[in-house]
Amino acid sequence: MPQMGESITEGTVVEWHKKPGERIEQDETLLEIGTDKVDTDVPSPVGGVVAEILVAEGETVDVGTLLAVITDENEEAPQAPEPVSEAPESEPAPDPPAPVAPEPPSDHDTEAAAFAPRGAAVPKEGASDSFFSPLVRSIAEQEGVSTAELESITGSGRDGRVTKKDVLNYVASRSEDEPGFPELQSVESVEGPEVRVVKMDRTRKIIAEHMVRSKATSPHVTSFAEVDMTDLVAFIQREKEAFLERESAKLTYTPFFVHAAIEALREHPVLNASVDGDQIMLRDDYHINIAVAIGRTGLVAPVVRNAGRQSFADLARSVADVADRARNKKLQPDDLQGGTFTITNIGPIGGIKGTPIINQPQVAILAVGRIRKRPVVIEDPKLGDVIAVRQMAWLSLSYDHRIIDGAMASSFLTSFVRIVESMGAGS
């Protein structure tokens, strides 16, 4: 199992592209691996014959675990080690020691576990020798799950290990049991000729988990504005061929949106921040996530790093690069981490406007809707107020109401609109 990112400690075998006995070339896709961030195709490090597959599809294992054996065409597959022969009768094996019953926990131990402060550090191993991965420990500390609680969870991982999914399910069930939550009614499952049951794929499960956690973390508010794209639309249509020939990159709307967002963020730095307890972590660099639709089944949001330091042509190339790698499953988990602000362009798929969910741990996300011709009232210096047909688009800014108020959000949108309209008019 390869190291898929600095913070990634385990991965799931999503799909094998080769079967035992099949030939594979070096750098040909061997399997698809999934993490809690992204699914990625993994090339074979060598050419040869797939002799043995050791980890089944759907199984999650730690980084460094042996996944498969590839041999040379003329080489036999390695044989499993011979079992150790039994001891001769003249030397009987000693009887195994009688198991020692564990001491029952004292009242003091039980009380200490019950009232252990949430958020305390979780050790790598529990009292019962159970192993907790760094990811599981991080989630437990963030969600206030004590070591005693972790040890009570039935793990679904290898050798009964507690996985990320197990601890998140525990947190969700614990929240439902706490006072103040209404009793949840079960939904009757109805199957018949008019009902089809389709299991969520891995991408859908990851998106669902992230969205639920975001809504539970941040009080969401969405503000709207509209932007006149007429001049920018005309500029792109006029310059796209020359730009492609000169810069080897397509001229699309997204780089303009990224540039305008960065300039607006410079004026409103709290939107380029994150929240840690009662502290606001302001970011000096601008790492912008770009939401990319993957067919009709989901989306990912890779990061354009240091976008505030790039020229417009560099931005255009960076946006095209991350979008292409996202659609071809060539992203690495680190490509999805470390962003400070997210932009999603819902216009190309027909969305007029929406209320996007914040990409944690960020505090704001901007959605740009479909560009449509509409009659609007504009102020002409000579004719006064006139009705004209303009290319208009809705903007939706969802933000964390813990640190951003409506006035700040509206001010950001006003800056964004001013910058976009000036880019089109001044280009």
Active site residues per annotation:
401, 405
Length of the chain: 427
- Pair 103, 124: CB distance under 8 Å: no
- Are 396 and 356 spatial neighbours (Cβ–Cβ below 8 Å)? yes
Helix, strand, coil shares, percent, the chain, to 5: 35, 25, 45
Q: In this structure, are residues 52 and 68 in contact, taking their beta carbons and an 8 Å threshold? A: yes
Q: How far apart are CA 111 and CA 126, in angstroms?
A: 17
Q: Is 89 exposed, middle or buried (0-12, 13-18, 19+ CB in 10 A)?
A: exposed
DSSP 8-state code for residue 131: B
Query: What value does the CA radius of gyration of the chain take, rounded to a whole number of Å?
Result: 28
- For 134-143, letters b (16+ CB in 10 Å) and e give ebbbbbbeeb
Inter-axis angle of helices 312-327 and 253-267, to 10 degrees?
A: 120
Q: Which helix (H) or strand (E) holds 205?
A: helix 202-217
Query: Can you tell me whether residue 239 is helix, strand or coil?
Result: helix
Other Cβ atoms within 10 Å of 179 Cβ, number = 4
